[in-house]
Amino acid sequence: MRICLSIVALALLLMLASHESLADDAKPYTIQNGKVDKGTYNGYRRYGDACMRCHGPDGAGSSYAPNLTDSLKHLSKETFEETVINGRKNVTTSNDNVMPSFGTNEDVVTYLDDIYSYLKARSDGVLDRGRPTRIGDDS
């Protein structure tokens, strides 16, 4: 009976361990020696075009809009997407900062995964500020 239990415990441990490595594999970005995959690089560019004027360089926030590298530490990908597509108005304080809706902006909707990957890499602390280099590019 006791042996049986330890086998069950061992099996559970193995399952947990493999689950953890699966979660690692599921990162939305790839970073090798500080260089990023094509999608993440594209996300950086799209972010610069559509989001930076409010959320600041590198996702770091401004006096007007929140720091997205902090936000993505607790926002799910679904909430992120929902917020960008539908927008949001801050109703809890007296200021009227507005997150516009990007639902009809093809340059954003089409590349929302890439924008998420870029911001997630920034949020996870694995990507420095500034323009990233693509994997395979020397410059």
Which residues in this chain contact ligand HEC in the complex, by CB under 6 A?
Answer: 50-51, 53-55, 64-66, 68, 71, 75, 80, 83-84, 88-90, 97-100, 102, 108, 115
Place of tokens 């790839």: 30
Chain centre to alpha carbon of residue 88 = 18
* CA atoms lying within 13 Å on the CB side of residue 52: 13
Nearer to ligand HEC by Cβ, of 61 and 135: the residue is 61
Q: How far is the CB of 27 from ligand HEC (least distance, A)?
A: 18
Q: How far is the CB of 25 from ligand HEC (least distance, A)?
A: 24
If you count them, how many residues does the chain have? 139
Nearer to ligand HEC by Cβ, of 50 and 121: the residue is 50
Distance CA 97, CA 122 (A): 24
Nearer to ligand HEC by Cβ, of 93 and 139: the residue is 93
Nearer to ligand HEC by Cβ, of 37 and 46: the residue is 46
- Cβ pair 83, 74 in contact under 8 A: no
- What sign does the dihedral 56-59-33-29 (CA atoms) show? negative
Q: How far is the CB of 29 from ligand HEC (least distance, A)?
A: 15
Q: How far is the CB of 11 from ligand HEC (least distance, A)?
A: 39
Quick one: DSSP state of residue 55? H
Q: How far is the CB of 8 from ligand HEC (least distance, A)?
A: 42
Lookup: tokens for 41: 């690089």
Nearer to ligand HEC by Cβ, of 98 and 126: the residue is 98
